[in-house]
């Protein structure tokens, strides 16, 4: 599933063609994805100007001139790609319609934005912009890891007394929004913290270091266009390439890249998910 860097990469790629532009026609080619689409979605989107294209956790938020916000989740395999961009940033014309092109936005500026989702775990919904933070998908989310609310003191306070493994705690979207398996593994490796350590045993100093490493990993991943392991594509259809910079994730039985560490990356399973770490330098 795309994590924060992949979603942010897609959002940034869509901004030149969508933000400030009018949706000339919205085409909705099926009644649902993971859940049913909102009633009259195509009608409610057609003719609307996108005032702002934002992101909250793993959701793209398109604020419309109608006072509604379109909430978009890419699911497991969803892609949003642009063709025919009038700014000249994309070299391909509109491609022929594909089997899994479920929602298509033809913009007045000549761009076409296509939402393709082979496995149909994605989702879209519409709600009043003024109440979007109270939407059931967003209401219980913790702070953004790149925002000012997320700092060492906050994380140490939220970890206090928790016996759950720190890896699991960081995946709890109520504690911090947008983190997933890949970037938690990478941040914990950089911080030298074992993924099995109880969250409540993380000191204030180590919590501050962990926050800094989370921010750095996410920023570097966004700069690299995210990680393309299977389905992720940027808005221009290109792959992300942060996967070439992984230090722990997916590197089972390979030497630990930490300077002066002679350990080997190992894989364990936590809550049904693979965790990659170095048992020698992560304590």
Q: What is the block-wise mean pLDDT of the chain (283 residues), using blocks of 10 residues?
A: 88 94 97 96 98 97 98 92 69 75 95 94 97 98 97 98 97 96 95 98 98 96 72 56 82 96 97 95 97
Query: Which is catalytic among the residues 11, 56, 58, 79?
Result: 58
CB 49 within 8 A of CB 22: yes
Tokens 């994805």 belong to which residue?
Answer: 33
Handedness of CA 17, 22, 27, 28 (dihedral sign): positive
Name beta bridge partners: 277: 266
Q: Is 273 a catalytic residue?
A: yes
pLDDT of residue 76: 85
CB 17 within 8 A of CB 11: no
What pTM was computed for the model?
A: 0.90
Q: Is 2 a catalytic residue?
A: yes
Query: Which is catalytic among the residues 34, 49, 273, 279?
Result: 273
Q: Mutual orientation of helices 204-223 and 152-159 as an angle, nearest 10°?
A: 120
Measured at the CA of 109, the angle between CA 103 and CA 92, to 5 degrees, comes to 70
Q: Is 36 a catalytic residue?
A: no
CB 217 within 8 A of CB 187: yes
Q: For the chain, which domains are there?
A: 4-134 (3.20.190.10), 152-277 (1.10.8.50)
Q: Is 230 a catalytic residue?
A: no
Name the DSSP letter for residue 174. T
Name the DSSP letter for residue 198. B
Q: Could you give the C-alpha distances from 66 to 44, 116, 129, 130, 195, in angstroms and in order?
A: 8, 25, 9, 12, 46
Q: CA-CA distance, 185 to 130, in Å (whole number)? A: 36
Sheet holding 50-56, edge to edge: 50-56, 59-64, 68-73, 123-128
Name the DSSP letter for residue 97. P
CB-count burial class (<10 Å; 0-12, 13-18, 19+) for 34: middle
CB-count burial class (<10 Å; 0-12, 13-18, 19+) for 13: buried
CB 124 within 8 A of CB 106: no
Which residue stretches of the chain are H helix? 4-18, 41-45, 152-159, 166-171, 181-191, 204-223
Q: Mutual orientation of helices 4-18 and 204-223 as an angle, nearest 10°?
A: 40
pLDDT of residue 245: 85
CB 72 within 8 A of CB 59: yes
Give exposure, 78-111, as e/b (b: 16+ Cβ within 10 Å).
Answer: bbbbbbbbeeeebeeeeeeeeebbbbbbbbebeb
List the one residue out of 231, 241, 238 whose CA is nearest residue 81.
238
pLDDT of residue 77: 83
């Amino acid at each position: 599933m795309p994590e924060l860097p992949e979603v942010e990469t897609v959002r940034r790629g869509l901004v030149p063609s969508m933000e400030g532009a009018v949706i000339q026609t919205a085409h909705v080619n099926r009644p649902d994805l993971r859940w049913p689409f909102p009633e009259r979605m195509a009608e409610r989107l057609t003719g609307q100007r996108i005032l702002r294209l934002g992101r909250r956790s793993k959701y793209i938020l398109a604020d419309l001139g109608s006072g509604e916000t379109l909430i978009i989740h890419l699911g497991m395999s969803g892609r949003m790609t642009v063709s025919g961009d009038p700014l000249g940033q994309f070299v391909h014309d509109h491609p022929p319609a594909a089997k899994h092109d479920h929602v298509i936005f033809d913009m007045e500026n000549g761009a076409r934005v296509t939402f393709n989702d082979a496995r149909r775990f994605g989702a879209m919904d519409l709600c009043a912009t003024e109440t979007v933070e109270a939407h059931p998908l967003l209401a219980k989310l913790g702070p953004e890891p790149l925002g000012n609310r997320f700092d060492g003191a906050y994380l140490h306070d939220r970890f206090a007394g928790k016996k759950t493994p720190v890896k699991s705690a960081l995946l709890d979207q109520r504690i911090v929004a947008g983190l997933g398996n890949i970037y938690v593994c990478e941040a914990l490796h950089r911080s030298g913290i074992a993924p099995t350590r109880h969250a409540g045993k993380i000191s204030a100093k180590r919590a501050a270091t962990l926050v800094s490493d989370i921010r750095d990993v996410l920023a570097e991943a966004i700069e690299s266009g995210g990680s393309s392991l299977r389905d992720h594509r940027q808005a221009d259809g290109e792959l992300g390439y942060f996967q070439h910079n992984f230090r722990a994730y997916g590197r089972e039985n390979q030497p630990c890249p930490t300077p002066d560490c002679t350990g080997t990356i190992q894989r364990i399973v936590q809550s049904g998910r693979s965790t990659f770490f170095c048992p020698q330098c992560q304590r």
